[in-house]
Amino acid sequence: KELHSQLQTAVLEANLDEEETEESLEQIQAIAEVLQDSKDDTVKKTAKRAMKILRGTAAALPSSAAMVTIFNKLPYLISNIF
């Protein structure tokens, strides 16, 4: 839950346009669902797609942005769940 909150805060503070912010928040929610049901293959695929979308969004930001820092750690954190 703490990670979910950190991700949401990072997105909101990233100064993204409205569409990117909304899309990023949706992808964070998809990842949160994986954390609740990591055995469902469909949910895993959704999380992987969400990670790709979020990485693309974060790539356009300065490397010092909180969103970039958190998303760089995210694959490691999620891989521990699978």
Contact 25/11 with Cβ under 8 angstroms? yes
Render pLDDT for 15-65 as a digit per residue (tens, 0 to 9).
889 999 999 999 888 888 777 766 777 877 888 888 888 888 888 888 888
Contact 31/78 with Cβ under 8 angstroms? yes
Give the pLDDT band (50/70/90) at residue 82.
low
The residue that leads in pLDDT, 82 or 36, is: 36
pTM recorded for the entire structure: 0.72
Contact 81/34 with Cβ under 8 angstroms? yes
* CA 29 remoteness from chain centre: 8
